[in-house]
């Protein structure tokens, strides 16, 4: 797969008018390296601190939009980015694996897409100097990739995210605190990976907080899913809200 070039060479164009002055949410199409992506931006006020939200392996759906709206109600601007491409919202497991697998194999592209999305948020008037990245499942793995890249954000948070560190990478460039919220009953991402991540963060002297929720399987925050666990969802959301207040 073709790797995206440097950020300054990427074309970043929001095709809708800036939403900041309207203080409400909306979808917007933007481009990175000539490919169309579709994100969701919402802001309650000018200069509000920003959450850069990364979707799970379904792509950007109503779930991330709902979470963005919940965060906006707390006073945060949110840009829910798109890492798959406009109109690419896989429903079959094989397709979800394909799209996530392509990005896992091309980490440079994954990083460029996240950096590009942040520039789009900036173009909408978002306060990117006061920003935290957060993600769910695949999005959590992407957040940790971004943290390892050394991007200058105020914090990184993952909900039941992928925790493995690719060979040759570490957290020596990570600039701010990492919050990991994980289900103890997650069979897709076992506690051995959770422990290994803790050791890696400690080895790189990265401030971090890692929480497990008993009985919570993978995707425990997804409303309406058989895996949803209300207790773990509410506890993790409360801690995330506190984390945002602390870091921003």
> Which tokens go with 94?
């094989």
d(CA 112, CA 169): 17
What is the helix (H) or strand (E) element at residue 4, kind and residue range?
none
Among residues 207, 212, 208, which one has the least CA distance to residue 193? 212
Pairing of strands 35-42, 26-32: antiparallel
> Which tokens go with 234?
């509410």
How many other CB atoms are there within 10 angstroms of residue 98's CB atom?
A: 12
How many other CB atoms are there within 10 angstroms of residue 88's CB atom?
A: 16
Predicted confidence at residue 23, as pLDDT, reads: 54
What is the helix (H) or strand (E) element at residue 121, kind and residue range?
helix 107-123
Strands (E), 71-204: 77-80, 127-136, 155-159, 178-183
What is the helix (H) or strand (E) element at residue 35, kind and residue range?
strand 35-42
**Domain residue spans in the chain?**
9-247
Predicted confidence at residue 25, as pLDDT, reads: 79
Predicted confidence at residue 64, as pLDDT, reads: 97
d(CA 17, CA 185): 44
Predicted confidence at residue 13, as pLDDT, reads: 40
Among residues 10, 8, 4, 15, which one has the least CA distance to residue 124? 15
Domain 9-247 fold: Rossmann fold (3.40.50)
Q: Please identify every stretch of the chain with a pLDDT value under 70, giving residue numbers as ranges.
A: 1-24
């Amino acid at each position: 797969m073709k790797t995206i070039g440097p950020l300054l060479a990427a074309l970043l164009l929001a095709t809708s008018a800036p939403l900041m002055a309207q203080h409400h949410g909306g979808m917007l199409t933007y481009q990175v390296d000539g490919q169309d992506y579709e994100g969701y931006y919402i802001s309650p006020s000018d200069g509000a601190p920003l959450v850069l939200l990364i979707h799970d392996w379904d792509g950007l759906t109503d779930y991330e939009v709902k979470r963005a709206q919940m965060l906006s109600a707390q006073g945060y601007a949110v840009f829910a980015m798109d890492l798959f491409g406009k109109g690419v919202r896989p429903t079959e497991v094989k397709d979800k694996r394909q799209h996530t697998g392509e990005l896992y194999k091309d980490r440079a592209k994954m990083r460029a897409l996240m950096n590009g999305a942040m520039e789009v948020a900036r173009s909408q008037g978002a306060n990117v100097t006061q920003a935290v990245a957060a993600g769910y499942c695949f999005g959590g793995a992407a957040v940790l990739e971004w943290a390892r890249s050394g991007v200058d954000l105020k914090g990184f948070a993952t909900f039941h995210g992928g925790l493995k560190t690719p060979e040759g990478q570490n957290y020596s460039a990570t600039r701010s605190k990492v919050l990991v919220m994980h289900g103890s009953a997650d069979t897709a991402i076992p506690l051995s990976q959770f422990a290994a991540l803790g050791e890696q963060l400690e080895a790189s002297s990265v401030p971090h907080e890692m929480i497990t929720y008993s009985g919570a399987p993978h995707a425990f925050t997804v409303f309406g899913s058989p895996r949803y666990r209300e207790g773990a969802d509410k506890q993790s959301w409360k801690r995330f809200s506190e984390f945002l207040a602390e870091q921003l």
